[in-house]
Amino acid sequence: MKILVPVKRVVDYNIRIRVKPDRSGIELDNVKMSMNPFDEIAVEEALRLKDAKIASEVIAISIGPLKAQETIRTALSMGADRGIHVQVNDGISVEPLAVAKILKRIVKDEIPDLVILGKQAIDDDYNQTGQMLAAILGWSQATFASEITINDGSAIVTREVDGGLEKLRVTLPAIITTDLRLNEPRYASLPNIMKAKKKPIDIKTPTDYDICIEPRLRVLDTFEPPQRQAGLILESVSELVSKLKDKVEAIS
Amino acid sequence: MTTLLVSEHNNNELNIATGKALSAALELGDNVHILVAGLNCRSVAEDAAKLEGVSKVLIADEIHLEHQLAEEVSALLLQLMETYDTLISPATTRGKNTLPRVAALLDVMQISDITEIKSPDTFVRPIYAGSAMQTVQSTDFKKVITVRTSSFRSPEMNGTAKIEYISAPTPFGNTSFHSSQLAEANRPELTSANVVISGGRGLRSSENFTKYIEPLADRLGAAIGASRAAVDAGYVPNDYQVGQTGKVVAPELYLAVGISGAIQHLAGMRDSKVIVAINKDSDAPIFQIADYGLVADLFEVLPALEKELAKKPA
Ligand SMILES: Cc1cc2nc3c(=O)[nH]c(=O)nc-3n(C[C@H](O)[C@H](O)[C@H](O)COP(=O)(O)OP(=O)(O)OC[C@H]3O[C@@H](n4cnc5c(N)ncnc54)[C@H](O)[C@@H]3O)c2cc1C
Ligand SMILES: Nc1ncnc2c1ncn2[C@@H]1O[C@H](COP(=O)(O)O)[C@@H](O)[C@H]1O
Question: What confidence score (pLDDT) does residue B194 get?
Answer: 95
Question: What confidence score (pLDDT) does residue B313 get?
Answer: 55
Question: What confidence score (pLDDT) does residue B185 get?
Answer: 75
Residues of chain B with pLDDT under 50: 314
Ligand nearest, relative to CA of residue A97? 2
Q: pTM value? A: 0.97
Q: What pLDDT digit, counting tens, does each position of A175-201 carry?
A: 999 999 999 999 999 999 999 999 999
Question: What confidence score (pLDDT) does residue B186 get?
Answer: 83
* Helices of type H across chain B: 16-28, 42-50, 70-80, 93-106, 206-208, 214-220, 228-232, 263-266, 298-311
> Which atom of ligand 1 lies nearest, measured to the CA of B204?
38
Question: What confidence score (pLDDT) does residue B242 get?
Answer: 98
Question: What confidence score (pLDDT) does residue B312 get?
Answer: 62
What is the C-alpha to C-alpha distance for residues A246 and A243, in angstroms, rounded to an integer?
A: 5
Which of A166, A172, A234, A243 to mutate against chain B (most B CBs within 10 Å)? A166
Contacts of A26 in chain B (CB under 8 A): 127-128, 132
Q: Which of B232, B294, B308 sits opposite A234 (nearest CB)?
A: B294
ipTM, interface predicted TM-score of the complex: 0.97
Question: What confidence score (pLDDT) does residue B253 get?
Answer: 97
Question: What confidence score (pLDDT) does residue A123 get?
Answer: 97
Q: Residue A219 in contact with residue A25, Cβ under 8 Å?
A: yes
Task: State the pLDDT confidence band at A230, using cuts at 50, 70 and 90.
Answer: confident
Question: What confidence score (pLDDT) does residue B1 get?
Answer: 83
Closest by Cα among B202, B154, B229, B197 to B309: B197
Q: Residue A192 in contact with residue A73, Cβ under 8 Å?
A: no
Question: What confidence score (pLDDT) does residue B297 get?
Answer: 98
Closest by Cα among A199, A243, A161 to A58: A199
Contacts of B109 in chain A (CB under 8 A): 95-97, 215-217
Question: What confidence score (pLDDT) does residue A104 get?
Answer: 98
